[in-house]
Copies of this chain bind each other. A is one copy, B any other.
Amino acid sequence: MPDAIPPAADDPTEAIIALERAALDRWGKGDPSGFLEICAPDVVYFDPSLERRIDGRDALARYYETLRGKVSIQRYELLNPLVQRVGAAAILTFNHVSYGGGTAEHRWNCTEVYRRSGGSWEIIQTHWSHTLAVRV
């Protein structure tokens, strides 16, 4: 009987969540490059301020540049993150609560699809939306 249960080397849950948190940490300081550096060239992206899906890392980079330095998140929580593994794909979903300078909290729904590429994971799809939202 082994001394300890071996780590589930094939389960990417912790690695994926760590990647997401590292990118979110930089995002909350106004730096979108943390996300860009782990996006694949063919990434697609939704958020509620856009009229349509953004296709491709180059287009996403242009969008993110308009936000650089403008985001300030004091702290955030990932609620109930879940990773669904399908071969070389890993689908991360979570609810997210962020707190800016004031007391207001912002609640989000998020889906990130990661794809295994060589020894690392890259984002190929991002979808952020407001939890409890209405149309503009």
Contacts and interface: CB of A to CB of B under 8 A. Distances in A.
Nearest to A132: B136
Interface string A98-136: 000000001101010101000000001101011111111
B84 A87 contact: no
Nearest to A45: B93
Interface of A: 42, 44, 46, 48-53, 55, 79-80, 82, 84, 86-89, 91, 93-95, 106-107, 109, 111, 113, 115, 124-125, 127, 129-136
21 contacts: A42-B84, A44-B84, A44-B93, A46-B93, A48-B109, A48-B131, A50-B109, A52-B79, A52-B80, A53-B80, A84-B125, A86-B124, A87-B87, A107-B135, A109-B129, A111-B125, A111-B127, A127-B129, A129-B129, A132-B136, A133-B136
